[in-house]
Amino acid sequence: MLIDATRSLLLTIDIQERLLPAIHDGDRVLTNTLKLIQAARRLDVPVLCSEQYPRGLGPSVADLSAVLEEGEILPKVHFSCAADPGIAKVVAQSGRRQLILCGVEAHVCVLQSAFGFKEAGYDVFVVLDAVSSRAPDSVLVAKDRFLAAGISVVTLEMTLFEWLHQAATPAFKDLRGLIT
């Protein structure tokens, strides 16, 4: 199944001040997440951002907070966004059935969110070059579990090209600079 911008919601998971510095390739995760958000904005894909226990891990990193709008940042204490009643309600109310996940940590909050939303009947896509963990091996094990569970593993470019669907459009011209 291809990703469809009209059916998608982008969920960024726990890219926070006190957590991101410990994440392997954290700069890549943040850069690719910001590209996903930019594309989502241009293509009218809703964006949500979770924060795991912000009193302890701090808020989302400044570069991410700067591009988010009021009401898009949702705190949680559950590791899974799907298990958090507030986040699950906002996702359900969006009417979007394809969830595009990015963030940290791949083997904890991203994995538990992906499994939870898949069990709830959503089509879940994990953007592999926009997720990571403290240890690279944790990402590899998480990827194996995603695939074994039927959760789609995609890349930033796959997501962008599938959202765009065709070239020679104003949206493609606006977003082609995100494709490297």
Helix (H, G, I), strand (E, B) or coil at 147: helix
Helix-helix angle 111-119:136-148, to 10 degrees? 10
Tracing tokens 């957590």 back to the chain, one arrives at: 19
The confidence score (pLDDT) of residue 179 equals: 87
Is residue 180 over pLDDT 80?
A: no
Quick one: average pLDDT of 88-111? 98
Quick one: average pLDDT of 14-21? 97
The confidence score (pLDDT) of residue 154 equals: 98
Tracing tokens 């990402």 back to the chain, one arrives at: 139
DSSP states of 59-103 as a string?
SB-HHHHTT--TT-EEEESSSSTTTSHHHHHHHHHHT--EEEEEE
- Joined together, the tokens standing for residue 89 give 């309600």
Q: How sure is the predictor about 43, in pLDDT bands with cuts at 50, 70 and 90?
A: very high
Buried b (16+ CB within 10 A) or exposed e, 50-78: bbbebeeeebbbeebbebeeeebbbebeb
Cβ atoms of 115 and 151 closer than 8 Å: yes
The confidence score (pLDDT) of residue 90 equals: 98
Is residue 84 over pLDDT 80?
A: yes
| CA atoms of 19 and 60, how far apart (whole Å) | 9
Q: How sure is the predictor about 76, in pLDDT bands with cuts at 50, 70 and 90?
A: very high
| CA atoms of 23 and 14, how far apart (whole Å) | 11
The residue ranges of every structural domain in the chain are 5-97+116-178
Omega within 30 of 0 (cis) for the link into 17: no
| Alpha carbon of residue 174 to chain centroid | 21
Is residue 94 over pLDDT 80?
A: yes
Cβ atoms of 90 and 1 closer than 8 Å: no
Vertex 128 angle, CA 149 and 55, to 5°:
95
| CA atoms of 165 and 150, how far apart (whole Å) | 23
Report the predicted TM-score, pTM, of the whole model to 2 decimal places: 0.97
Quick one: average pLDDT of 52-80? 97
Is residue 61 over pLDDT 80?
A: yes
The confidence score (pLDDT) of residue 79 equals: 98
Fold for the domain defined by 5-97+116-178: Rossmann fold (3.40.50)
Quick one: average pLDDT of 158-179? 94
